[in-house]
Structure 1
Amino acid sequence: MRVSKELQDLCSEFRENNQIPMAKFDLYGVKRGLRNPDGTGVLAGLTQISNVHGYLINDSERVPDKGILTYRGIDVADIVEGCRKADRFGYEEVVWLLLFGKLPVSAQLEKLHAVLSFYRELPENFAEDMILKAPSRNIMNKLARSVLALYSYDENPDDISLENSMRQSFQLIAQLPAIMTYAYQVKRRRFDKQSMFFHPVNPSQSIAESILDAIRPDRKFTHDEAHLLDLCMMLHAEHSGGNNSTFAVRVLSSTGTDIYSAIAAGIGSLKGPKHGGANHRVMMMMRDLMQHVDDWGSEKKVYDYLVKIVNKEVGDHSGLIYGMGHAVYTLSDPRAVILKSEAEKLAPAHDGMKEKFELFELVEKLAPKVFEEVHGDTKVISANVDFYSGLVYEMLNIPTDLYTPLFAVSRMAGWCAHRIEEIETAKRIMRPAYRSLSKSKPYIPIDER
């Protein structure tokens, strides 16, 4: 996009008058990014919903440790394994666990399936008025707009009682997948000039099955494919209160605002490439690397290109190796470990995927050495969930447009659980402080300036 001379001048004016030296943040002890000097997060609240373990503290220093993610105290790896052994879709079980605090018995799980199926249909004329008539190039923006629009279809939108919050949570968890798939189909038709198709809802399907059913023209998918998508959704469902999108939901919820405003904020946060949008950026980065490195098995050639990425010479010039490193995890991200294992098992059955998987594995191996060489950064880093999730989605033939929206659809369970916990237990508006660096100045009349 061409920038006008007038706009360039205005931006120059802004830059001249709006600089804050980095030394000032240290001088006043400002914890940028709400991070302590050692990289740990500033304690902003208490939660019983989940826990993210990535390091130990020894003599006030962080010691790298194996990553563990627990939902209500239960290791997510054990939840995944338990559902797999029973050949049962697990996302709905995770929804119950996060919202209510304990694993459901069979009767409770059946009741939840019935409730979610009941709420799956969108309000009358919603798809036509809110999605078809206003297409969006970006599905995440359409999700946020649609969630805000649901306020107008709710007969009791501002009631923050537990009963009403639960009802709204079930509706959002059930309806966001349909909103996502409708938005994707309309985007295909309007911007990609492809056919769009809308299949009738099958209430007997799990959420994972309903998504695959909706995005495939022939509605065909295998049992294993549905279980793999269900696994991805389980791993993305929740990640403690400190992640940016969940914190955004809690900040807005602390004001007493409606659930639709709070969840839309979470979606907007998750869209960012430093948060949930990273899974899409990983695939963009890897495709760029594949195009410019002629020998994917050469450690030297891959290493040299990664150095160029970090030096902002190639790629999107951000200097980031997307999918590497995490705010909490050090030695490993348990979600990435599970997804990597799945990708490794699936790769040989898909044309060209074995070579791609091996390239991903090589980038994962080389990235820490690149950061050490370029920045002198010796911090222990590992692949995070975004690094392998896109590769798994590609194996499921899921369009890249849906990578981050699928994250949002999955995370709805965690967002709703945290909103309810914030309203029911914290009961105080969040209001951190900012130190002003401006000095007192007299007002000067315009003809004297």
Structure 2
Amino acid sequence: MANVDINEITPEIIEYAGMCSKSGAINPELYGKYDVKRGLRDINGKGVVAGLTHISDIISSKEVDGKSVPCDGELYFRGININDIVHGFISEKRFGFEEVAYLLLFGDLPNSQELKDFRDLLASYRTLPTNFVRDVIMKAPSNDMMNTLARSVLTLYAYDEQPDDTSIPNVLRQCLMLISVFPMLSVYGYQAYNHYICGDSFYIHNPDPELSTAENILRMLRPNMSYTQMEAMVLDLALVLHMDHGGGNNSTFTTHVVSSSGTDTYSTIAAALGSLKGPKHGGANIKVVEMFQDMKAHLNDPKDEDEVRTYLKKLLHKEAFDKKGLIYGMGHAVYSISDPRATIFKAFVQKLAFEKHREADFELYSMIERLAPEVIAEERRIYKGVSANVDFYSGFVYSMLDLPTKLFTPMFATARIVGWSAHRLEELINSDKIIRPAYKAVQEHLPYVPLKDR
């Protein structure tokens, strides 16, 4: 038999795929019969309670006269409202990433000395093993930076003298190191892709130990290493807002599930990266940017509300953009009236748009944020309200910062690695059971038929 190209979808594969689809299809009525919470959520979108956490809290409804009523979304990190946290460091013109990372990992806000010591500790970890860039990142550049990031994380296992030690001090060491090097792994991975696959110049800039995480990302990414204070501040804010979002989001729940098996930190974080890579999770902001590009290409007048409304209806009717029937960046699994992260973000997005001379784009985004919930309510039967989520604006921010779309999701990971680390530590501290939910088997039992009788 001749060798088969592993990338070729042969007629046999197509036939087998049809068999898979036929045998894998489950009658949708059975989910209701057995009260299965598909997606681990009920019909109102409320998640099944699978654990307890101190790390972050999401509020989207409140009890009024014994009934659950939607409210403006609230997000708390270690019990502190995200609005107060952001106001705290912004009002004092400080970068917040390191301060909020300390809060999520250790449970309290740091004082001045603790914050300085923590910043110095992260800076000391902000280095890669000798020749790691050459031997790992440069040797197999990928079109997908999330795969590059996951491969780098798994390879770091081989450089660790205690990779399988799941004691809290050792896991904390591993997590602090990964938090520190994620920006380097992401940006260097992109630079290798940009050089070897796109044919552009190759830049490897060392991080500066005196700079914040956000500043170092821009420094390492740009050929001239320059950036404005506003650019660094908005990127820092984006990292803070993406740092954690409860224990039930897909990648964080993955962290809990994989940690509960007793595996190592590198395997756990690689699994979380695989989850975040999905377009339904971390890849959503890319879709928002692409949707707006398509929208502007098809609108005669982006200021005409009737024309914009018509385009939005086409999106929902699968007649525009990717024909998936979605208005990307609108709606959230938990929030209905508002996503607090998007609300915080919007004011700073407007300032950056002014600096970048992209006021017209900001006005279009604002119009869509206002019109989309109305159009969705008109065209769809929805069980809860719809509002802009954080991804609606984050992609726009990244594009104004001249971040390539290849780095959008790795930037999300650079923030969320802090939350993953905090949740991994919490799982190891509090649980000694492997997470194992149940699945109801609905296949009838059949007799085995000998090969000669089939």
Q: The TM-score by the shorter chain falls in which range? A: over 0.9
Equivalent in the alignment of 1:426: 431
State the distance in 2 between where 1:16 and 1:394 align. 42
| Consecutive unaligned residues in structure 2, runs of 5 or more | 1-6
Q: Is the 8 A contact 2:250 2:281 kept in 1?
A: yes
1:51 equivalent to 2:50? Answer: no
Equivalent in the alignment of 1:402: 407
- Within 5 A, what are the aligned runs for 1:23-422? 23-58=29-64, 61-351=67-357, 353-377=358-382, 379-422=384-427
Secondary structure of the residue aligned to 1:410 is helix
Cα separation, partners in 2 of 1:183 and 1:381, compared to 1, 3 Å: same
Structure 1 residue 59, shift from structure 2 partner: 6.6
Cα separation, partners in 2 of 1:96 and 1:310, compared to 1, 3 Å: same
State the distance in 2 between where 1:342 and 1:378 align. 31
Secondary structure of the residue aligned to 2:47 is coil
Structure 1 residue 391, shift from structure 2 partner: 1.0
Report the AA paired with residue 301 of structure 2: D
Q: Is the 8 A contact 1:71 1:98 kept in 2?
A: yes
Equivalent in the alignment of 1:447: 452
State the distance in 2 between where 1:13 and 1:424 align. 45
Structure 1 range deviating more: 197-206 or 150-159: 197-206
Structure 1 range deviating more: 149-158 or 7-16: 7-16
Structure 1 residue 317, shift from structure 2 partner: 2.1
1:14 equivalent to 2:58? Answer: no
Report the AA paired with residue 181 of structure 1: V
Deviations 1:27-62 (A, max 9, x none): 100000000232210000000011111112457754
Structure 1 range deviating more: 62-71 or 243-252: 62-71
Deviations 1:178-225 (A, max 9, x none): 000100101101222211111123211111111010001001112222
Secondary structure of the residue aligned to 1:200 is coil
Cα separation, partners in 2 of 1:378 and 1:40, compared to 1, 3 Å: closer
State the distance in 1 between where 2:164 and 2:277 align. 26
Query: Could you tell me the TM-score, scaled by structure 2's length?
Result: 0.96
Equivalent in the alignment of 2:443: 438
Deviations 1:58-105 (A, max 9, x none): 577542101111110111111111111222111000111001000011
State the distance in 2 between where 1:90 and 1:16 align. 51
Secondary structure of the residue aligned to 1:54 is strand
State the distance in 2 between where 1:125 and 1:263 align. 22
Deviations 1:143-189 (A, max 9, x none): 11111111111100111111101111110000111000100101101
TM-align CA RMSD: 1.5
Secondary structure of the residue aligned to 1:256 is coil
Q: Is the 8 A contact 2:60 2:74 kept in 1?
A: yes
Deviations 1:351-379 (A, max 9, x none): 3x211111111211222222223323263
Report the AA paired with residue 289 of structure 2: M
State the distance in 2 between where 1:368 and 1:249 align. 33
Equivalent in the alignment of 2:11: 5
State the distance in 2 between where 1:62 and 1:304 align. 34
Q: Is the 8 A contact 1:372 1:378 kept in 2?
A: no
State the distance in 2 between where 1:7 and 1:438 align. 24
Q: Is the 8 A contact 1:339 1:392 kept in 2?
A: no
Deviations 1:206-261 (A, max 9, x none): 11111010001001112222122111111111111011110001100011110111
Q: Is the 8 A contact 2:187 2:217 kept in 1?
A: yes
Structure 1 residue 264, shift from structure 2 partner: 0.8
Q: Is the 8 A contact 2:45 2:333 kept in 1?
A: yes
State the distance in 2 between where 1:348 and 1:199 align. 29
Structure 1 residue 281, shift from structure 2 partner: 0.9
State the distance in 2 between where 1:296 and 1:136 align. 36
Secondary structure of the residue aligned to 1:403 is helix
Report the AA paired with residue 96 of structure 1: Y
Total equivalences in the alignment: 448
Q: Is the 8 A contact 2:234 2:349 kept in 1?
A: no
Structure 1 range deviating more: 312-321 or 372-381: 372-381
State the distance in 2 between where 1:16 and 1:380 align. 36
State the distance in 2 between where 1:154 and 1:182 align. 21
Secondary structure of the residue aligned to 1:69 is strand
State the distance in 2 between where 1:435 and 1:42 align. 17
State the distance in 2 between where 1:445 and 1:198 align. 62
Q: Is the 8 A contact 2:44 2:383 kept in 1?
A: no
State the distance in 2 between where 1:65 and 1:12 align. 45
Structure 1 range deviating more: 394-403 or 180-189: 394-403
Report the AA paired with residue 147 of structure 2: N
The sequence identity of aligned pairs, in percent, is: 48
Structure 1 range deviating more: 340-349 or 252-261: 340-349
State the distance in 2 between where 1:3 and 1:243 align. 34
Cα separation, partners in 2 of 1:317 and 1:62, compared to 1, 3 Å: farther
Give the 4+ runs in structure 1 shifted more than 6 A.
none
Secondary structure of the residue aligned to 2:253 is helix
Deviations 1:299-358 (A, max 9, x none): 22111111121122222222121111111111111110111111222323323x211111
